[in-house]
Structure 1
Amino acid sequence: IGVAGAGQEISTRPFQLVTGRKWLGSAFGGVKGRTQLPGMVEDAMKGKIQLEPFVTHTMGLDQINEAFDLMHEGKSIRTVIHYE
């Protein structure tokens, strides 16, 4: 469901749990950074994982505040900042 804001709560109907549904939390999709991330980077470099669909904006460093605004408004997935 995404990341909730600080101090926010989530709720459900108890029947959902009685019927076998589970709540499971994870950070970063459960990826283990030290062991799994290097392989994912290698796959991306080989073209096995397409990253382009996740980059919704490309901006210069002078537009970084606008990039943060897009993120806070939920209007971007990933913005690449060019430092040129």
Structure 2
Amino acid sequence: MLVNSDVLQLLVERLAISNSLQLLIPILRSLGNLVAGDSHKTYAILVPGHEFTDNVIEVLEKCLRSEHRILEKEAAWVLSNIAAGSV
């Protein structure tokens, strides 16, 4: 299952280090799609107190503070999917 693979870790790592909009936007969309859906999928990705979860939140916060409106929008969409999947 993709949720349990190293792909998520790779996406978050690339999101943290890249400055390329051509890379960041598809990564954010991929993360948003992965956390969309049922709460089991969301909880499998975002475990409270887990280092990976902290990294996801940290890079999303970085994008929300970006000077590029599109990054802010995509990061907000990911967060809205997390919120919707955790209800």
TM-score by length of 2: 0.29
Q: Larger RCO: Structure 1 or Structure 2 (Cα < 8 Å, ≥ 6 residues apart)?
A: 2
Query: When you count helix as a share of all residues, which structure comes out higher?
Result: 2
TM-score by length of 1: 0.30
Query: When you count strand as a share of all residues, which structure comes out higher?
Result: 1
Q: Which has the larger radius of gyration?
A: 1
